A and B are shown apart, each in its own frame.
Chain A
Amino acid sequence: AQSVTQLGSHVSVSEGALVLLRCNYSSSVPPYLFWYVQYPNQGLQLLLKYTTGATLVKGINGFEAEFKKSETSFHLTKPSAHMSDAAEYFCAVSGIGASGSARQLTFGSGTQLTVLP
């Protein structure tokens, strides 16, 4: 089984401030972790992903996330928020099951990021 918990359904930051969006996961197999962003009235697009290897992953638009196995976390950060970052962000998990079958993508409930001028 697998699940994702995103702490904070709404986060507000000032323009230029640090963005920190929290994601914790649960998985019985090594996880593949993703962050997607959804701008108003649009579909989701991939920000970044972790599958194997380096635990600090960099994505588009200056975002990065660090996979911490001991904390079962994959928090998303950006050093300096921009007005254009205002959107909804989703953390998601998948992986390879014990039988070798691929697991479906499971999404968290999302975090709405507001950037204040």
Chain B
Amino acid sequence: DIVMTQSPDSLAVSLGERATINCKSSQSVLYSSNNKNYLAWFQQKPGQPPKVLIYWASTRESGVPDRFSGSGSGTDFTLTINSLQAEDVAVYYCQQYFTSPLTFGQGTRLEIK
């Protein structure tokens, strides 16, 4: 199985500042035939299912604010939230869909400082 490891486990950022969450996979999720990274980022708020923010490592889902961005390739990925808003308080997960079994990171809890 591909193990997804996120850092940090929790993060406190001031409103209007930038939040950065990292995700490392135990093997590459880059498919060389199409040069796509099979990596998604999710946001989960209490009592709700996860919501996809980013897929193919850097493609923003429709309707997601442009302050959310994804980067990285191969085994190392980053979710960046610029100009943090109060509604961004949530737990964030990365997930690989390169191969079965699909696997998630352990989550990063983002709070307001």
Are A and B bound to each other?
A: no
A interface, CB within 8 angstroms of B: none
